[in-house]
Amino acid sequence: MTITPYEQNFGADYQRSLVTLGQAMHQIIRHFGADTVYGVGGDFAANLIAALDQPGLTVSPSSNEMHAGFCACAQAEVQGMGFCLTTYTVGSLPCVTAAALAKTEGLPVVFISGAPGEDEVHQAGIHHMVQPGNSWRTEYDAALRAFAALGLQAERLQGDRSRGQPNISAFRFYQLVKHAWLHREPVFIEVPRNLVFALTQPLTLPPLAQLPTDDMVFAGLQAVLDNIAAKFKVSRAPLVYFGEQVRRNHDLKRLVLDFCHRFGVPYAFHWFAKGVVDESDPLCLGGYNGVFSAPGARRYIEQEVDYVLDLGTSIIPQDTACALNTGTHFIADFANKTVLKSTTVHETELIHILQGLLAADLPVHSFVPPALAHSPLARGDNMDFHVLTDVINQIQSEQPFGTVFVPEVGNSVFASFGLRPKATELDVNWLSNPWYAAMGTSLPYARVVAETIRRNGLKDRTVLITGDGGFHFQLNELIHLQKEQLPLTIVYMRNDVFHLGKSGDGPVYHCSTGTFDVKLLVQAYGGQATRCATIGEFMDCYQTYLHANEGIRLIEVPCSLEPAYQSREAGLLNLYIKSRNGDPAAQAQWREVLGR
């Protein structure tokens, strides 16, 4: 009988406790709550697929590597962690776009790539390598450097380095995944294919609740708490305004809402924090963003509020959520406010302060919500962006289920800020990426939302709102909705151009043609499509599709380029972009908007 170096060094019991790296990776991924890894196959990833696609974990295909990365981003949004698997360089490098999205949006996504075995790394070039045939050196680290350039931790796991001493590849994989979870940022890990079935040290994984440390080193929290309480006691019309740090932290969000309801304090949110509160709540003023805000909410915030508690907004001001630097963001320059931005893991100091405020002796306010302005809706009127959110808001107010809205980047996402989504069982009701603005994410996002709703037996519906340009970026992902028979309603706003920021009539702005028949395309994917030109047609079709909740269902809405038919938000943004680009007429109109 052959005695292995491990047994010779540490004994037979220890030898029997060793696991393969693939087994350990499966255990770690499941430990962080994932049951799906999105990916595309390839030769260097084949061993990883075999090791991970075992009971409890599925390696689910995407139409391309970038979409696999976008699916993992959506998985992080709705499930807490995302995992993506591709092959070496030709597979991993297309994921750089999704990694940039995850980095920008603060998403814990683990990008895993197969890699050449350690015995394959030598002077010869490998067919996946990023180098020309006449190169003077071999280049094995192109993907590692590309992901590291985004500010990510990027590492290739290593095998045994000392005889009789098992490698620490599983431990390093755990450390990197833990980093992503703790700090809400992506990581990139290359796994040499010869390590997947090699033995590594076994791990005993601590509960996730124990991962954030309690080493709260910041002093003065009580003084901050006392100061906030004192300001609330003398305030006539206080406001809680929260940002993406609250959106990312379920426990903190719950504390904020509990505080507002206990003391009758209205709340508004940063544009990047949309999607996690019930906007039908009487205390909710919706998203505030200066001139782009709903008029009634804007008037109340800018004319009535006398104290603002600003929670968890960006450390560095970000233009999209600061009224795009138009100088109209009242809260940004409001003097009587307390600004709390977390710099600790999982916002522990903000949680301590909110817990203290909930226990404080503060006055209860009698807040009366401002009237919500909306367009008059006549069933025979044209359906277009100018009434899109009013129509959907009216319909969803009467529906017995929640809806998760997934708007595509462009006119659709800016129009969708006018949506007032109700609470959902998924606890997410709006999902997009307005800061990074990676076009082509909405179908992968909607797929993951629909999968999660089905997997958890929820009653929520998934609605994708897209322009034709953004939709054409990602049509190939429809095949996976068809394969899985996922229910998805698509609102397809058609004008055949890239309209957001359009500054001319050149070919670059034209994304489609009038002869394209989207209904035939959807039918090819086993779906159904209807063209709705009036409000009445849209309302009837939309309600029918959502109540049926089966298969791919698309509503095509013909859209006009005339300013009167734009959504308020997109119209203002287009005008502002033209003014910033030096258009004299737009500059004059923008001054009129600002009353200057």
Query: How far, CA to CA in Å, does 284 sit from each of 249, 321, 337?
Result: 18, 18, 19
Q: Does domain 385-580 have CATH number 3.40.50.970?
A: yes
Q: What is the pLDDT of residue 2?
A: 65
Query: How far, CA to CA in Å, does 312 sit from each of 80, 271, 338, 346, 469?
Result: 19, 12, 11, 11, 34
Same CATH topology for 5-210 and 221-358: the answer is yes
How is the chain split into domains, by residue range? 5-210, 221-358, 385-580
pLDDT in tens, the chain (596 residues): 567 777 777 777 877 888 999 999 999 999 999 999 999 999 999 999 999 999 999 999 999 999 999 999 999 999 999 999 999 999 999 999 999 999 999 999 999 999 999 888 876 777 777 777 777 777 889 999 999 999 999 999 998 887 777 889 999 999 999 999 999 999 999 999 999 999 998 899 999 988 876 565 567 888 999 999 999 999 999 999 999 999 999 999 999 999 999 999 999 999 999 999 999 999 999 999 999 999 999 999 999 999 999 999 988 888 888 888 888 999 999 999 999 998 888 898 899 999 999 999 999 999 999 987 777 899 999 999 999 999 999 999 999 999 999 999 888 999 999 999 999 999 999 999 888 878 899 999 999 999 999 999 999 999 999 998 889 889 999 999 999 999 999 999 998 877 776 666 777 777 778 888 999 999 999 999 999 999 999 999 999 999 999 999 999 999 998 888 999 888 888 888 888 888 898 889 888 888 76
How many H-runs (helices) and E-runs (strands) does the chain carry? 23, 18
Q: What is the pLDDT of residue 161?
A: 81
Cα separation, 279 vs 391, whole angstroms = 16
Give me 208's structure tokens. Answer: 């996730």
The alpha carbon of 196 is separated from its chain's Cα centroid by a whole number of angstroms, namely: 31
Q: What is the pLDDT of residue 317?
A: 84
Q: Which amino acid is at 17?
A: S
Q: What is the pLDDT of residue 596?
A: 64
Within the chain, what is the greatest distance between any pair of CA atoms? 90
Give the pairing type, strands 187-192 and 461-467.
unpaired
Q: Does domain 5-210 have CATH number 3.40.50.970?
A: yes
Q: What is the pLDDT of residue 321?
A: 86
DSSP code of residue 434: T
Of 567, 559, 565, nearest to 497 by C-alpha is 559
Q: What is the pLDDT of residue 510?
A: 72
Give me 347's structure tokens. Answer: 């916002």
Instruction: Tell which CATH classification among 3.40.190.10, 3.40.120.10, 3.40.50.1220, 3.30.479.30 matches the domain 221-358.
Output: 3.40.50.1220
Give the pairing type, strands 36-39 and 199-200.
unpaired
